[in-house]
Amino acid sequence: MREDVLGKIIEHEIRMFTRDSPANRMKAGGGPYFDRPLVGFADASDPLFQDYKRIIGEFHATPAELFEAEFGRQSFSGGTVISWILPIAAATRKRNRKEKVVPAEPWSHTRWFGEMFNEELRRRVVAFLAGLGFRTLAPVLTRGWQRFADTPVGHASTWSERHAAYVAGLGTFSLNDGLITERGIAQRCGSVVTELVLDPSERPYRGIHDYCLHFSEGTCGACIKRCPAGAISETGHDKAGCFAHMRQTVMPRVNERYGVQVPGCGLCQTKVPCEERIPRPGRRPIGRTRPGKSQQGKG
């Protein structure tokens, strides 16, 4: 079967599972956690994966290292990283725009139960490709996956879903370290590594920050104002400050209110120009109304 046909079949499988799975539904009969996914393919031998050892840390695994750890040394001769973006549903984003300290309930549930769906999706893609005869793994579900609290780049892990998505042509990074995609920054990422060789997706950008107005235009900075911890500034994202707010404020409150332990608030991913799209210069943040007559000319 041709590579382009197999790629379309895999993309269809990911989208149909997202559309039909009961795990992608809010509790008590609500809507979906995630809308229609974006899917991209990266050559597992792309030099960027080796570059991440310098950019992120030596601990960050390459696709070949992941494969060898899972299936045995010298077992990987090439393949594909399949990456996807799960855009957070519009109703959930709308609720989170109103919050100023901790996330709204549907956002918290998306971060908790929605990520459980994302794990099911990873397993589904692994099983689907294994059924076609191709060894496949989901990096964050492997035995060797680890988080590290203290690295030169702050909190990090042995595999970054966002960085895999960047290689697969799905988006570029923002001032707050999120990934801005065609469907915006309010999303979750997932990926698998397979020995199946597919044509890599085009990367329609040159730099790691091309979609962020702060870096590309010297404007915006909306995420700075949205951060309740003051952990975002013009110099970037303070991971330690962000993590402290999450541990000390977000997790206790959302656990008490919503019964989940959410690692993050997502406020900087909503009510910003890149919330649901690649922003254009001069675009107002999502959810901000036009100034009324009494406001025009002030400030």
Tokens linked to 22: 């009961």
Closest CA to 11 of 84, 80, 88: 84
Number of Cβ atoms within 10 Å of the Cβ of 231: 20
Residue linked to tokens 């059924």: 131
> What's the pLDDT score for residue 27?
83
In whole angstroms, give the CA distance from residue 185 to residue 179: 6
Q: Domain residues of the chain, as ranges?
A: 3-213
Tokens linked to 172: 């570029």
Tokens linked to 288: 């901000």
Going residue by residue through the chain, which has 299 residues, state the pLDDT in tens, using 9 for 90 and above.
666 789 999 999 999 999 999 999 998 778 999 999 999 999 999 999 999 999 999 999 999 999 999 998 767 889 999 999 999 999 999 999 999 999 999 999 999 999 999 999 999 999 999 999 999 999 999 998 999 888 888 888 999 999 999 999 999 999 999 999 999 999 999 999 999 999 999 999 999 999 999 999 999 999 999 999 999 999 999 989 999 999 999 999 999 999 998 888 999 999 999 999 999 876 666 664 333 333 233 23
In whole angstroms, give the CA distance from residue 229 to residue 243: 9
What backbone torsions phi and psi does residue 111 show, to the nearest 5 degrees?
A: -65, -30
In whole angstroms, give the CA distance from residue 141 to residue 137: 8
Tokens linked to 166: 């960047």
Tokens linked to 201: 């997706």
> What's the pLDDT score for residue 81?
98
